[in-house]
Structure 1
Amino acid sequence: MEACAARAPGKIILAGEHAVVHGSAAVAAAIDLYTRCSLRLLPLAADADAEAGAAAVELDLRDPGLAFSWPCARLHEALLTEAAAGAQDPRSCSPDRLAAITRLLEEQEIPEAKIWLSAGLSAFLFLYTSILGCRPGKVTMSSDLPMGSGLGSSAAFCVSMSGALLVAAGAVAGAVGDGKGTEWELVGKDDLELVNRWAFQGEKIIHGKPSGIDNSVSTFGSMIKFKKGELTSLKSSNPIKMLITDTRVGRNTKALVAGVSERTSRHPDAMASVFHAVNSISEELSSIVELAANDEIAITSKEKKLAELMEMNQGLLQCMGVSHSSIETVLRTTLKFNLVSKLTGAGGGGCVLTLIPTLLSNLVLEKVIAELESHGFRCFKVEVGGQGLQVCQGDCSCFNGNVV
């Protein structure tokens, strides 16, 4: 496949963040905000001696407006002393290979202000060269997701990139389409499993010891309950809509997780009760989302129960010490409109979820958004529990509305 694209969704945690580290259940879901990866393989030079220096692997990051290029000869020299894994055999990046990738990035002279890109670029180089070797190509990435705000942006990056690379390698095929690249296609379960395993290797480069939850939700979509390493797929019988408020406040996830652990060591009995309560909330929420609500009264009742569980979960997250003044501002603002909110992810800033009831008028919702944005926040309306990875084959006009 000379040209293809893939897109993968971000995620939210509906219930159970932090407590899941201590054995409680948690519920995560895909959202309809996507990261897109377009790949065009470039022809191999006919005259290797004349054009060897021209062949390159290029990466265009549209959102920060940055572009990178690595000569194929340099990649081959630096990375292929260690045999590439091959598209069907996902494996971890060895320390030697990671050290070689780090040296390649040092040659790029990444601006100090953009040094946070290094982990993502390392994952890109590992995935590209492991799956496609040093074949010249151009990769273009764009995303709806704010980075580092708890919406699974790095997982969506790794899943969409792995999907496109594996399609190009012939290891993954979308559903049968017209071949004209005009629509996104679903991917078969076995192919999704392969993509997920590769994406997890990319996530390990970025995060060190990821849980695998983010890349699993981004790959397979829908909703999952996870507890002690066990993932259970959930099927929502009714649409669930959320307003996501990005507070634009950065946070240190490792420090927040450590803070909860320290509080647990100081107050083991009290925190055990908190985690037990969170587990009950996650289990009940899992059951409620799968209940069929067939009329307006049933839907309203279902949404009220979800809102109450979110409200209780937020109170317990406050008990854990992971709220923040920006989060409290969102809670107060939405409460004025009788709407319920909770943080999602690590807390300490990041993003906040607000359940949008089916009967809420657009006029009221716009007022809520206007007031939140007056605080400098950014809002996204999303549907919860949608499709996971999708691919587009050929010259993909569905990639952000343009052929790339």
Structure 2
Amino acid sequence: MPACESGEGGWEGVFRGEGRLAMMITMTEPSNSINISAPGKIILFGEHAVIYGRTAVAGCIDLRTYVNLFTSADGRIYLSLPDLGVERTWLMKDVRKAVDKLYEGKSDDNAPPCLELVVPIARQICGTSEDQCGVQQLASLAFLYLLIGVARKRKDLLAVKVTVRFNLPSCVGLGSSGAYCVCIAAALLQVAEIIPSPTVTAANNASTWSPQHLETIRLWASAAESLIHGRASGLDATICTYGGVASYRHGCKIEQLENLPDLKVLLVNSKVERNTSRMVTLVKDRLKKANFVVFPEVIDGIFNAIDAISRDAIKILGQPQHSKNRKTCSEDEHYSLQEWSMELYSDVNELCRINNQLLIALGVGHPKIDQICTTLARYGIHPKMTGAGGGGSLFAFLKPS
């Protein structure tokens, strides 16, 4: 594909039914070792609009984040993220002191801690100020937020050593922060026995949790991700936890799309780093200006149009195929009940084109994104930015082979 050869950085991806949070537990001496992985994601349709109550559609991709955790009695907490250049050490006694400062009122055992209450304490331990918002600082802060949260529930929690590796790049809209928060949340909730050991068989001899405990993981991960991205919709944490392809609307039940064609996509890295929180704030400011200054219905109309695109995409991708060859598959099998036809491709390809233009109208485009779109359009392919925009990644559906 010419877009890949031009040095943009491209991958072919596929949505997989088994692409959910997975865990493998191995016993080592003298402590337990927990290995957890979660998939990345791409937002197919609905980014930004989903923050304001509209529908979004997203799917996991076969690029994952991996976390290894084991407990230690040496009283030191280790966090290693070699791909981000992060090597941090803290004393467990400092975490326990922080926990003692927290208000000991009644709380839901499964609820994540209050961000406003815990984050200032986590910043103090981490040694970061509010104006330090680099990837390394935010990753450390999210980890400490989750650690303080579980330590509050489990006062005798041992120190932990955590190593994180990424198979997907950061800051390009592929859900690296969501997968990171999901893996860390799952590992810490597991070691603190807030959730039980996983009992549901997943792919590749791994295990995962019941829907009830996956929801607990999602809630904690979503709270931690809000710390990283500001006003997060929760979509990334949802997809990285549950996998598959799903529609999401704030306050509504997650709807998995189970009748998908065998979707394949091309991912293109624009090589332009962007800050999700900054892009979200940009759109928020534009909406605020529209509501109170000049054109109150315009931005809202863009959100409504994006919502309509998401809902049309759900109808197109999830429509049943009446076929004698239809079969029943287990939850973890990769399967397709629709043929990926040129008709389906043409429909979603056009939806991508329109949705991308609407995102540009919101002000989250970039000249490099325009260049990539122009290049692929020569071949009848209409890519769309995925995630916050302002750079990052684009995706395009590939034509049926």
**TM-score interval for Structure 1 and Structure 2 normalised by the shorter chain:** 0.7 to 0.9
Q: CA deviation at 1:95?
A: 4.2
Q: CA deviation at 1:331?
A: 0.5
Q: CA deviation at 1:341?
A: 0.5
Residue matched to 1:318:
360
**2:305 and 2:201 mapped to 1: Cα distance?**
47
Q: Does 1:130 pair with 2:149?
A: yes
Check conservation: 2:261, 2:340, Cα contact below 8 A.
no
Q: Does 1:143 pair with 2:166?
A: yes
**1:66 and 1:298 mapped to 2: Cα distance?**
43
**1:177 and 1:348 mapped to 2: Cα distance?**
39
Q: CA deviation at 1:309?
A: 1.2
**2:317 and 2:373 mapped to 1: Cα distance?**
23
Check conservation: 1:263, 1:320, Cα contact below 8 A.
no
Count of aligned residue pairs for this structure pair? 344
Q: Does 1:211 pair with 2:233?
A: yes
Residue matched to 1:188:
210
Residue matched to 1:92:
113
Check conservation: 2:320, 2:338, Cα contact below 8 A.
no
Residue 258 of structure 1 aligns with an amino acid whose one-letter code is K
| Within-5 A mapping of 1:2-401 | 2-42=32-72, 44=73, 54-82=74-102, 88-93=109-114, 95=116, 97-106=118-127, 115-132=134-151, 133=155, 134-170=157-193, 171-175=195-199, 183-233=205-255, 234-251=257-274, 252-258=278-284, 260-261=286-287, 264-265=290-291, 266-292=294-320, 299-359=341-401
Structure 1, unaligned stretches of length 5 or more? 45-53, 360-404
**2:117 and 2:250 mapped to 1: Cα distance?**
32
SS in 1 for 2:79: strand
Check conservation: 1:5, 1:38, Cα contact below 8 A.
yes
**2:169 and 2:272 mapped to 1: Cα distance?**
11
SS in 1 for 2:341: helix
SS in 2 for 1:210: coil
Residue matched to 1:379:
none
Residue 98 of structure 1 aligns with an amino acid whose one-letter code is V
Check conservation: 2:84, 2:136, Cα contact below 8 A.
no
User: How many percent of aligned residue pairs carry the same amino acid?
Assistant: 28
Q: CA deviation at 1:183?
A: 3.7
Assess, with a 3 A threshold, how the Cα gap between structure 1 residues 113 and 235 changes in structure 2: closer, same or farther: same
Q: CA deviation at 1:296?
A: 9.3
Check conservation: 1:57, 1:135, Cα contact below 8 A.
no
Residue 315 of structure 2 aligns with an amino acid whose one-letter code is S
SS in 1 for 2:43: strand
Residue 217 of structure 1 aligns with an amino acid whose one-letter code is I
Residue 313 of structure 2 aligns with an amino acid whose one-letter code is L
Check conservation: 1:334, 1:341, Cα contact below 8 A.
yes
Q: CA deviation at 1:161?
A: 0.8
Structure 2, unaligned stretches of length 5 or more? 1-24, 26-31, 324-336
Deviations 1:302-321 (A, max 9, x none): 12211111112122223333
Q: TM-score, normalised by structure 1?
A: 0.75
**1:26 and 1:96 mapped to 2: Cα distance?**
31
**1:96 and 1:114 mapped to 2: Cα distance?**
19
Deviations 1:342-376 (A, max 9, x none): 111222212111111231xxxxxxxxxxxxxxxxx
Check conservation: 1:200, 1:215, Cα contact below 8 A.
yes
Check conservation: 1:225, 1:231, Cα contact below 8 A.
no
Check conservation: 2:265, 2:397, Cα contact below 8 A.
yes
Q: CA deviation at 1:195?
A: 0.8
For structure 1, which segment, 312-321 or 278-287, has the greater mean C-alpha deviation from structure 2 after superposition?
Answer: 312-321
- Which is bigger in relative contact order (C-alpha 8 A, separation at least 6)? 1
Q: CA deviation at 1:212?
A: 1.8
For structure 1, which segment, 126-135 or 341-350, has the greater mean C-alpha deviation from structure 2 after superposition?
Answer: 126-135
Q: CA deviation at 1:57?
A: 1.2
Deviations 1:253-308 (A, max 9, x none): 13431354157443344444433332221111011111245699762221221111
Q: CA deviation at 1:226?
A: 2.7
Assess, with a 3 A threshold, how the Cα gap between structure 1 residues 77 and 11 changes in structure 2: closer, same or farther: same
Q: TM-score, normalised by structure 2?
A: 0.76
**1:143 and 1:199 mapped to 2: Cα distance?**
17
Residue matched to 1:380:
none
Check conservation: 1:235, 1:289, Cα contact below 8 A.
no
Check conservation: 1:18, 1:346, Cα contact below 8 A.
yes
**1:96 and 1:18 mapped to 2: Cα distance?**
27
Assess, with a 3 A threshold, how the Cα gap between structure 1 residues 97 and 176 changes in structure 2: closer, same or farther: closer
Residue 63 of structure 1 aligns with an amino acid whose one-letter code is D
Check conservation: 1:79, 1:101, Cα contact below 8 A.
no
**1:268 and 1:81 mapped to 2: Cα distance?**
45
Check conservation: 1:41, 1:137, Cα contact below 8 A.
yes
Residue 290 of structure 1 aligns with an amino acid whose one-letter code is G
Assess, with a 3 A threshold, how the Cα gap between structure 1 residues 240 and 207 changes in structure 2: closer, same or farther: same
